[in-house]
Structure 1
Amino acid sequence: MLAIALSLWTRNVMLSLFGGIALGAFILHDFSLFASLETIVKLFFTLLLEPWILKTLAFAVLVGSIMALIERSGGIEGFVDFMQHKAGLVKSPRAALMLSYFIGVVIFVESSITSLIAGAVGKPFCQKYKIPSAKLAFVCDSTSAPISSLIILNGWGALLLGLIATQISLGVIDVNAIDILIDAVFYNFYSMAALLVTFLFIWFNIDIGAMKNTKYTPRDIEITSNGASMFYMLLPIALMVLLVFVFLYITGGGDILKGSGSSSIFYTMLTVLFFTLFYFVGTKNMSLSIWSKTALDGAWKLVPIAMILLFAFAIGEITTELKTGHYLASLATQNLSVTFLAAVIFLIGSVISFATGTSWGTFSIMIPIALPMAVAMDANVALCIGAVISGGVFGDHCSPISDTTIISSMASDCELIEHVNTQLPYALISGGVAFVLFVLFGLYQT
């Protein structure tokens, strides 16, 4: 709560996250200053020794390099020219935002990649049609996590399958993990509602809440005007999408759904970076020195984002130590009717995800709680798992300390707090729809 309040007040995300981390450490050690400081130092050292965290941070930096190289190559300008003049598909603000929406839905391999690509493609069109960057950030954010949690052939699916499989191995339930996960996806009501609300927002230009007051701000987007082919953008992106599946298959020992999400996206971005070296320099699109300078400049620009992600992981660890999720879940399990079980699980997941800024962390907390509860109360297990997924995505979508929220605002050149304030009313509408559906399905199945 302190981290979220500070982020809204100071608009400094790293300071806000550190405030939450420090307060959490003080509570854990009965407000002993030296013990708390020792814990904070050890926490960051421990995080930086975790391979998956190092790969995630490296991924953020590598993405900066690749997106900078694609912009410098002129591939985005070539794509914009093709879509606008040759194909004639983008001739209005609605078409411009719809293109980013379509990209967000098609590229479902990883939520961060989705946001970054949709933002990179959308920014030039937003400049041309004078679209406020907050609208682009909303489209990027509202397609990334929702579509990644609906089409589970990615790291999201691997995580969820692993969590469910763990409960099966403990004897909580005797079902096939893949079957129950596929069933649960059909109850992921928030993600479905968010995609629908975003589509309606674009198509009918529906501005509500803070979105009514957003203004177009001219941005200095450095896109080289060299008449380059759009394939300088399309080929790296296509390779990005393909390689995630390849590395998920390799790290999963032949099973995509058992692959490592962090390893897959890290190896993918590293491979794509080397591909741009041979492709851009080999076709004389740019010299080796320009390639090197552009890659380093792009990486440096995303170092602050990598630091914010590190702080976000740290506050997630602190809230886990405080057992925030288990406490919230215990409050709701007293005298709870099976009819409203899924709806309550959705609300708890939303609060945990909002407070911690991580949907994946919420899944890890809530599935070991929700699945045994559903079995014990003879409720629909798939519906309850769907409620966990929906709650995790909803809270993450609203939270100013969420990695996807931060990356979406960065990818769209939108100020973080403006993005949070303008997106919140739409997210609340989608969340309200999801909550009603969980209640109705709970009533029906009871």
Structure 2
Amino acid sequence: MEWYSLLPPLVAVAVVLWKKEVILALLLAILTSEVLLAETGASMIFHGAVGTFERIVSIFGSAGNTRILLFSLIIGAVLAFMRHSGGVTAMVEYVISKGLGKNRRQAAFMANFTGMAIFIESNLSVLTAGIVSRGLFDRYKMSRATLAYIIDSSAAPICILVLLNGWGAFVLGLLSNYEFEQSAAEIMWGTVLLNFYPIIALMMVWYTAYTGNLHGPLARSKFSEEHDITRKHEFKPTKARFMLVPLLTMVLGMIMFMFWTGDGTLANGSGSKSVLYATVSACLIAYIMMLFSRKFTHHQLVKIGFDGMSELLPLVAIVLLSLTLGASLKVLGTGIYVAQIIGDSLPLFLIAPMLFLAGAFIAFSTGTSWGTFAILIPIGVPLIQTLGLPPSFIIAAILGGGVFGDHCSPISDTTAVSAIASGCELLEHVKTQLPYALFGGALTVILYMVYGLAFL
């Protein structure tokens, strides 16, 4: 292995720092890898460019990868049906009408619960939680920065812990490209209890909601009388079942199909098949419910579905290029080279903390966890295989680092959506959430070091 095998991930990181553009960074990283794999000579750039397109095409040769890409599109249609049906806004109105927010503590826990309940997509989660809770926070003169912190630190952590969503399917797709003694699904489920940062983040939210104690800049954030506490909905409320039934179909369907594809054993199930089948089932249920409501025609629903898919095309592009980069780096041997360097120079107990911090740096720079997983998992897996490290432990450190960096990043989409949904200034949200995230990140590094010393 040669030092130049490090160039593709370095190119990815450099481009995202420079241009703040994840798709361009991944594409140039793939091109760099393919140029290095091409035969030397005057035509190596040409062969590298051709190899880049061929590598992208080869991703569709894997049925698992294709299912993940299809899921990433179809989930856009499901989310669009939930919104356009008025189910999301109806759920918001129902919660508020029941008076489930009689004091500051209940208002804070409602924001937290709503942020956790809709774990299929983090942005939908924070949008719904923000809409539900803004009026209550204004009623009790709680700052919008507090609301932004609660919903942001509830949504992403629960998404990476539950994993019955796009994040889980994506991670399964990346892990399925490698050979392990355990199944990719077993490794992924094993990360839950070892993914310390999101667990700590949720515990800090619960502490804040229960005690009402605020620290750092968040304690100095002020309630503004200028907030308009009227609830402005994108779509007219109808019935909450238009959101709840497809959501339950997806969650229960995921579990059922995991048992089915695993011949009765959840851990042996196919994650890519299960998430796709569950999402298609939810999409079909949502379509039938809206059609039978007689408020939508077939043609309207088709347009709504495809519009929802188009909103997620940038995400699908990131997923496709992430899978491509992982495949290219595997051939180039980047991960094995890094594993050899680390194995010779770094104590085993420091590997997980270093991967956690590397993931945090990349996610902070890119504003997205997906690209972080794509860059680091192909590096982390050879470390697992070469040094005999516990797979779930190392993968958990990478996943947690992505979420930690995402929480600290001002260019993260979830950070921005949390600020918008809560009616808080973006920079104020970043400034007030950062001390909590840094405290959780520092505690996580210590826990990974202790765990490594105890069990490696």
Question: Same-fold call, TM > 0.5?
Answer: yes
**Further displaced range: 251-260 or 16-25:** 16-25
Q: How many aligned positions are there? A: 410
Q: Which residue of 1 aligns with 2:66?
A: 54
Q: Which residue of 1 aligns with 2:394?
A: 388
Q: Secondary structure at the match of 2:180?
A: helix
Q: Which residue of 2 aligns with 1:172?
A: none
Q: Which residue of 2 aligns with 1:248?
A: 258
Contact 1:14 1:308 in 2 (8 A): yes
Q: Secondary structure at the match of 1:299?
A: helix
Q: Which amino acid aligns with 1:278?
A: I
Which of 64, 71, 76 is the aligned partner of 1:64? 76
Q: Which amino acid aligns with 2:77?
A: S
CA distance 1:21–1:239, change in 2 (3 Å): same
Matches within 5 A, 1:396-411: 396-398=402-404, 408=414
Q: Which residue of 2 aligns with 1:229?
A: 239
Distance 1:419 1:258 in 2: 45
CA distance 1:67–1:120, change in 2 (3 Å): farther
1:278-326 Cα offsets, whole Å, 9 max, x none, are 2122133433333222212212222222122212222222333333333
CA distance 1:35–1:105, change in 2 (3 Å): same
- Which residues of structure 2 form unaligned runs of 5+? 1-9, 363-369
Q: Which residue of 2 aligns with 1:10?
A: 19
Q: Which residue of 2 aligns with 1:439?
A: 449
Q: Secondary structure at the match of 1:278?
A: helix
Q: 1:234: how far off? A: 1.1
Distance 1:322 1:156 in 2: 22
Contact 1:370 1:385 in 2 (8 A): yes
Q: Which amino acid aligns with 2:328?
A: I
Kindly indicate whether residue 297 of structure 2 is the aligned counterpart of residue 287 of structure 1: yes
Percent identity, aligned pairs only? Answer: 22
Distance 2:88 2:102 in 1: 14
Matches within 5 A, 1:7-406: 7-29=16-38, 32-89=44-101, 98-99=109-110, 101-103=112-114, 105=116, 113-125=120-132, 131=144, 135=149, 136-148=151-163, 166-167=180-181, 186-200=193-207, 204=213, 223-225=234-236, 227-334=237-344, 341-348=348-355, 351=358, 357=371, 359=373, 366=380, 369-370=383-384, 373=387, 384-385=390-391, 387-398=393-404
CA distance 1:222–1:207, change in 2 (3 Å): farther
Contact 2:86 2:242 in 1 (8 A): yes
1:34-68 Cα offsets, whole Å, 9 max, x none, are 12112101111111332222222221221111111
TM-score by length of 1: 0.73
Contact 1:84 1:91 in 2 (8 A): no
TM-score by length of 2: 0.72
- Which residues of structure 1 form unaligned runs of 5+? 170-176, 375-380
Contact 2:172 2:272 in 1 (8 A): no
Contact 2:249 2:282 in 1 (8 A): yes
Q: 1:437: how far off? A: 2.0
1:72-112 Cα offsets, whole Å, 9 max, x none, are 111111111111122423877x866744543554566xxxx
CA distance 1:245–1:17, change in 2 (3 Å): same
CA distance 1:9–1:99, change in 2 (3 Å): farther
Distance 2:385 2:84 in 1: 49
Q: Which amino acid aligns with 1:118?
A: S
Contact 1:104 1:144 in 2 (8 A): no
Q: Secondary structure at the match of 1:38?
A: helix
Contact 2:16 2:25 in 1 (8 A): yes
Q: 1:15: how far off? A: 1.9
Contact 1:236 1:272 in 2 (8 A): yes
Q: Secondary structure at the match of 1:166?
A: coil
